[in-house]
């Protein structure tokens, strides 16, 4: 390339910036490792919590979030560093795919990059590092699957596995002291789904008041609404019509319509015409012959009176999520028009009993014996909204992991057992590989071993001593040993009942290694110039 006057031609716009080579790689490593270090103190059964405070315009400073859920923490962060954003995205994906392991995946990716940085400083090319990591990942996955076990879905052993997995998931949450109670509650809720993975059938209601232990599982579906005044409070063998339609004839208020009249008689004529239209709409609804009408929108007095006079129980202004759950649980279709009464058998939902109940100080509507018999409701109680929000997140994580386990069935021992076994397998493989890739495989093993090390550190124990004892136990052939975080020793995971879902571990390992590879490949960061508004 010819250089005129020792000056390189300018390619980028004036306000664009570019970082190349070592500087770009350093920026990526620093950003990703910083995110991993932020959440790693939340890892394990004795992890710490974070307080998240909103600072944006129009947000209440009193609305804080107290959590140790990795996905919740990372989703609340706004970062500029592109590598940090990658770690946040893989944590979100982990949460959406399996519901747990969100902190593990971010921490593992950060530890891989920390080890990768050391290798690059030793003049090992990133491509050699990536090649070694891929070998190590395949070896680790093979060992992970080899040490997993599976029980028949209808056996008592599988039910016990589910309870143990739920206890393990909840052991790092706010409700760890009541994890046995909530583990049974979550397992019973998931088993009602009968193999379905649709969490919409499990409604979670949060009611301030009482203690966490006052939470319970209700067999029916509960809607946070009240039955309209003048309607029956108890309906047996209900036929339910679910709709999202306007039952309000006040066009002036809704659409901002302007009407000019020269006498009160004209106003009366307009109102009479609107009432006639509404009566015609109610007549269409009546042709479906429902006994209960659930509407997303408000229902004004006149149509409400017409429906009540016809013996139909009215539930109005149901929230959209609740309405969709009602439709899913009862087998109804959500209608917006009522022109096909001949399809009533297909669009009406059914349940054995609808009744108004009192929970705490609130009236709600309970649907029992729904067509989709798996529908149920978890009612959460707690001293404050912050506690309820964290309990909700904890229960959601446990439900997601249990549903994943029901679909995949294979489980592994917890307490850092799987990470230590994978690390040992990688170290064995490194002895068979020649060249620089062996260093990368050993680095992968060290990164895996950092997970139980961090769990020990977060519990206030001597991680160096515990990890060494851990290695010795595995070398002795004690394949189900793991960290006993209650008294800071190496114990039997079989006796302690600590199990985890294989799919969660697989997903975390794959996502973390892929993210680390992606960041390791970066050698150039280009920040584009901001677009400027041009005058026409």
> What does the buried/exposed string (b/e) look like for 371-388 if buried means 16 or more CB atoms within 10 Å of the residue's CB?
bbebbbbbbbbbeeebbb
Is there a contact between 14 and 529 (Cβ–Cβ < 8 Å)?
yes
Helices (H), ranges, 192-319: 251-255, 264-286, 301-309
CA pair distance 65, 73, nearest whole angstrom: 9
- Asked whether the beta carbons of 359 and 337 are under 8 A apart, the reply is no
Scan for tokens 């710490």, then name that residue. Answer: 48
d(CA 417, CA 491): 11
SS3 478: coil
Single out the residue of 513, 518, 517, 520 nearest to residue 138, CA to CA. 513
What residue has token string 């509507």? 365
Task: Say how far apart CA 119 and CA 130 lie, in whole Å.
Answer: 11
Give just the sign of the alpha carbon dihedral 314, 317, 321, 322.
negative
Contacts of 248 (CB under 8 A, 6+ apart): 254, 297, 298, 299, 300
Q: How far apart are CA 464 and CA 218, in angstroms?
A: 47
**DSSP H or E segment with residue 202:** strand 202-208
At residue 237, φ and ψ (nearest 5 deg) are 50, 55
CB-based burial of residue 245 (10 Å sphere; 0-12 exposed, 13-18 middle, 19+ buried)? middle
Residues 6+ apart with CB under 8 A from 180: 167
The token pair at 456 is: 């020990």
SS3 368: strand
Sign of the torsion angle spanned by Cα atoms 36, 74, 510, 417: positive
Q: What are the residue numbers of the active site? A: 69, 102-103, 397
Whether residue 221 contacts residue 370, with contact meaning beta carbons closer than 8 Å, is answered with yes
């Amino acid at each position: 390339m010819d250089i005129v006057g020792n000056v390189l031609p300018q390619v980028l716009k004036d306000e664009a910036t570019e970082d190349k080579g070592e500087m770009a790689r350093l920026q990526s490593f620093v950003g990703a490792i910083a995110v991993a270090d932020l959440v790693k103190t939340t890892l394990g059964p004795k992890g710490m919590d974070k307080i998240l405070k909103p600072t944006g315009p129009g947000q209440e400073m009193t609305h804080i979030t107290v959590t140790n859920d990795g996905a919740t923490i990372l989703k609340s962060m706004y970062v500029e560093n592109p590598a940090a954003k990658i770690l946040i995205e893989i944590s979100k994906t982990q949460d959406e795919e399996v519901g747990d392991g969100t902190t593990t995946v971010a921490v593992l990716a950060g530890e891989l990059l920390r080890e990768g940085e050391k290798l690059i400083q030793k003049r090992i090319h990133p491509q050699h590092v990536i090649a070694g990591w891929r070998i190590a990942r395949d070896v680790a996955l093979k060992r992970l699957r080899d040490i997993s076990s599976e029980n028949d879905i209808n056996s008592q052993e599988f039910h016990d596995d589910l309870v143990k997995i739920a206890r393990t998931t909840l052991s790092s949450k706010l409700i760890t002291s009541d994890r046995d109670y909530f583990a049974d509650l979550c397992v019973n809720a998931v088993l009602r789904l009968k193999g379905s993975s649709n969490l919409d059938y499990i409604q979670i209601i949060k009611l301030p008041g009482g203690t966490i232990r006052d939470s319970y599982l209700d067999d029916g579906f509960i809607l946070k609404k009240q039955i309209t005044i003048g309607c029956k409070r108890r309906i047996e063998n209900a036929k339910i019509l679910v709709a999202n339609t306007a039952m309000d004839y006040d066009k002036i208020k809704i659409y901002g319509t302007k009407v000019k009249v020269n006498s009160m008689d004209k106003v009366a004529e307009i109102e009479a015409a609107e009432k006639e239209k509404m009566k015609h709409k109610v007549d269409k609804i009546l042709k479906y012959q429902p006994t209960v009408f659930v509407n997303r929108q408000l229902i004004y007095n006149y149509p409400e009176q017409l429906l009540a006079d016809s013996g139909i129980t009215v539930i109005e202004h149901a929230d959209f999520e609740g309405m969709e759950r009602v439709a899913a649980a009862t087998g109804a279709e959500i209608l917006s028009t009522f022109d096909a009464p001949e399809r009533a058998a297909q669009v009406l939902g059914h349940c054995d009993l609808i009744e108004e109940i009192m929970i705490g100080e609130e009236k709600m509507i309970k649907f029992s014996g729904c067509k989709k018999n798996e529908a149920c409701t978890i009612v959460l109680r707690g001293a404050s909204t912050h506690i309820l929000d964290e309990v909700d997140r904890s229960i959601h994580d446990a439900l997601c992991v249990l549903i994943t386990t029901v679909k995949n069935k294979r489980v592994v021992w917890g307490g850092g057992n799987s990470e230590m076994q994978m690390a040992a397998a990688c170290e064995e493989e490194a002895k068979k590989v020649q060249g620089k890739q062996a260093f990368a495989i050993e680095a992968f093993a060290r990164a895996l071993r950092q997970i139980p090390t961090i769990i020990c550190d977060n519990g206030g124990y001597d991680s160096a001593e515990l990890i060494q004892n851990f290695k010795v136990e595995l070398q002795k052939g004690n394949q189900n040993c793991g960290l006993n975080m209650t008294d800071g020793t190496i114990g039997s995971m079989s006796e302690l009942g600590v199990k985890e879902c294989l799919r969660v571990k697989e997903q975390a390992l794959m996502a973390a290694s892929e993210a680390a590879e992606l960041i390791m490949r970066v050698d150039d960061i280009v920040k584009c110039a901001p677009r400027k508004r041009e005058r026409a």
